[in-house]
Amino acid sequence: MLVLTFLGMIGAPQIILIIAVVLLLFGGRKIPELMKGLGSGIKEFKNATKEEEETPKVEKEKKD
């Protein structure tokens, strides 16, 4: 229950604090590389999800 309460209280000051901590940990030069990696990971995940959805349809058509 405590986790849900904490998640409900995230506002602008908390987001700014999180961004500042990320900048301190990774530096300004690493962040574009991290975002690029994150974007490609999300893209691969979406492609894998689409493949999983299409696979049963193809197998079902072969059975008919």
39-51: pLDDT as tens digits? 999 999 999 888 8
What is the pTM assigned to this prediction? 0.49
| Domain residue extents for the chain | 2-63
Instruction: Please tell me the predicted confidence (pLDDT) of residue 4.
Output: 53
**Interatomic CA distance for residues 62 and 51, integer angstroms:** 16
24-37: pLDDT as tens digits? 888 888 888 888 99
- How distant, in Å, are the alpha carbons of 3, 33, 58 from that of 18? 17, 18, 45
